[in-house]
């Protein structure tokens, strides 16, 4: 991979860390801001909503800027947003700062995906996307636990100052390593043409399969602490090390999914979504066993992030050169919508009286719905391929 791809990885690490950092500091933030823990938890929801709404708006607003300039602008917003979080005197301003920070998220990953694919050969595009998303994986594996520890030692505001420092470093690396132009991808299509592309049925199906396919993970993962402590029987102190193992699975799956997609995108889409649905089903009988739950949870991590590169590349391919940037950002928004949908589905399942043990089966059903959408989308590709083959067949 070119060094510029790893520069994108550095930016992804900072953004991924700040998204979930608040999870490990909820009690401290709630106490300092004089709000309840559930209210403090809305800082995560506010961030996700900011990603979902901000990704298409900011992508359209910056569409005529050079892509390197867009990435640098987004990293500056990210850095200033985290500094504002550290300085926020009350809950309302902290929420506003979190939303400001989130605006960089969707567009950075969206534009970054397009830039990454423009830096490599045709048969390495999915791997380039996966390499950029390694930053998000490392953020989950190391950034969030370290940030939480740092916040506990030096105060939650210090943790946000540290993330702002990561933003400064990422800005410098991006400025030095990302080329000013990335091949033909730097051409700017009229906004009307981009909008026509993103409303095409195949692009919409791609966004839908991303939302549903990825929502299954967060149907379980959102409630992983009570699952591990109340169902499996682990102590609260054991949850963090288990999540580190889960993060290792994320890293393995992320790279494997990219390579799988490079070898054949249709098979990768079906294989990764089907694999995730299957392993979620297996988590239900594994939950009472400490050993099996750790093993299956690690595989869930691998299976879930193996879907990322294929899902992102599918939308990029169907958008074509005209609508790649906007479609890519919308797909990042779809991932975050899947996070919110999964958390909601899990909450509904628990509130309905089915309990924590039912979460894996509901999660599998949600992911299976994404698999069905993928099958429908791929089926729509076949008539066109058949017609092309007939036209290409020599006469006689």
Q: What is the per-residue pLDDT for 187?
A: 55
Q: What is the per-residue pLDDT for 392?
A: 44
Q: What is the per-residue pLDDT for 358?
A: 94
Q: What is the per-residue pLDDT for 270?
A: 96
Q: What is the per-residue pLDDT for 390?
A: 45
In whole numbers, what is the pLDDT of the chain averaged over residues? 84
Ordered domains of the chain (ranges, CATH): 1-186 (1.20.1250.20), 189-387 (1.20.1250.20)
Of the segments 51-60, 124-133, 146-155, 369-378, which one has the largest average pLDDT value?
369-378
Q: What is the per-residue pLDDT for 184?
A: 45
Lowest average pLDDT, out of 55-59, 77-81, 157-161, 291-295, goes to 55-59
Q: What is the per-residue pLDDT for 212?
A: 94
DSSP 27-38: HHHHHHHT--HH
Q: What is the per-residue pLDDT for 189?
A: 64
* Both structure tokens of 36: 């309840």
Q: What is the per-residue pLDDT for 387?
A: 44
Q: What is the per-residue pLDDT for 207?
A: 93
Percent of the chain with pLDDT over 70: 93
Write down the pTM of the prediction. Answer: 0.75
pLDDT of residue 56 exceeding 60: yes
Lowest average pLDDT, out of 20-29, 114-123, 148-157, 197-206, goes to 20-29
Q: What is the per-residue pLDDT for 76?
A: 93
pLDDT band at 395 (very low <50, low <70, confident <90, very high): very low
Q: What is the per-residue pLDDT for 288?
A: 94
Q: What is the rounded distance in angstroms from the CA atom of residue 165 to the CA atom of residue 168? A: 5
Q: What is the pLDDT of residues 280-334, one digit of tens each?
A: 999 999 999 999 999 999 999 899 989 988 998 899 889 877 777 788 778 888 8
Q: What is the rounded distance in angstroms from the CA atom of residue 381 to the CA atom of residue 365? A: 25
Sign of the CA dihedral with 246 first, then 135, 322, and 196 last: positive
DSSP 250-319: HHHHHHHHHHHHHH-HHHHHHHHHHHHHHHHHHHHHHTT-HHHHHHHHHHHHHHHHHTHHHHHHHHHHHH
pLDDT of residue 11 exceeding 80: yes
Q: What is the per-residue pLDDT for 42?
A: 75
């Amino acid at each position: 991979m070119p060094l510029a791809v790893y520069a994108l990885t550095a930016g992804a690490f900072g953004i991924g860390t700040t998204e979930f950092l608040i999870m490990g500091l909820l009690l401290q933030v709630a106490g300092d801001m004089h709000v309840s823990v559930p209210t403090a938890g809305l800082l995560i929801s506010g961030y996700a909503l900011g990603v979902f709404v901000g990704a298409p708006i900011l992508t359209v607003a910056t569409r005529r800027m050079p892509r390197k300039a867009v990435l640098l602008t987004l990293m500056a917003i990210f850095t200033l947003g985290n500094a504002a979080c550290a300085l926020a005197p009350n809950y309302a301003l902290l929420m506003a700062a979190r939303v400001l920070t989130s605006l960089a998220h969707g567009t950075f990953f969206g534009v970054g995906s397009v830039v990454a694919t423009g830096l490599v050969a045709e048969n390495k595009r999915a791997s380039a996307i996966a390499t950029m998303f390694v930053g998000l994986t490392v953020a989950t594996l190391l950034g969030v636990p370290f940030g939480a520890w740092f916040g506990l030692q030096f105060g939650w505001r210090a943790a946000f100052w540290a993330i702002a420092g990561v933003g400064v470093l990422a800005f410098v690396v991006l400025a030095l390593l990302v080329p000013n132009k990335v091949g033909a991808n730097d051409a700017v299509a009229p906004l009307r043409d981009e909008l026509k592309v993103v409303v095409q049925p195949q692009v919409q199906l791609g966004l839908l399969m991303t939302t549903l396919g990825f929502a299954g993970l967060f149907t379980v993962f959102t409630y992983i602490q009570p699952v591990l402590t109340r169902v499996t029987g682990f102590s609260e102190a054991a949850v963090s090390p288990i999540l580190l193992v889960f993060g290792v699975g994320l890293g393995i799956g992320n790279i494997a999914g990219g390579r799988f997609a490079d070898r054949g995108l249709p098979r990768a889409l079906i294989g990764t979504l089907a694999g995730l649905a299957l392993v979620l089903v297996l988590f239900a009988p594994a939950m009472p066993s400490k050993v099996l739950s750790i093993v299956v949870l690690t595989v869930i991590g691998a299976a879930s992030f193996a879907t990322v590169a294929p899902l992102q590349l599918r939308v990029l391919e169907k958008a074509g050169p005209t609508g790649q940037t906007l479609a890519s950002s919308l797909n990042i928004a779809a991932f975050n919508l899947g996070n919110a949908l999964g958390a909601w589905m899990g909450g509904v399942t628990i509130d309905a009286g089915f309990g924590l043990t039912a979460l894996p089966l509901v999660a599998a059903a949600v992911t299976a719905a994404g698999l069905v959408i993928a099958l429908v989308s791929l089926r729509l590709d076949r008539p066109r391929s058949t017609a092309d083959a007939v036209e290409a067949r020599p006469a006689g």
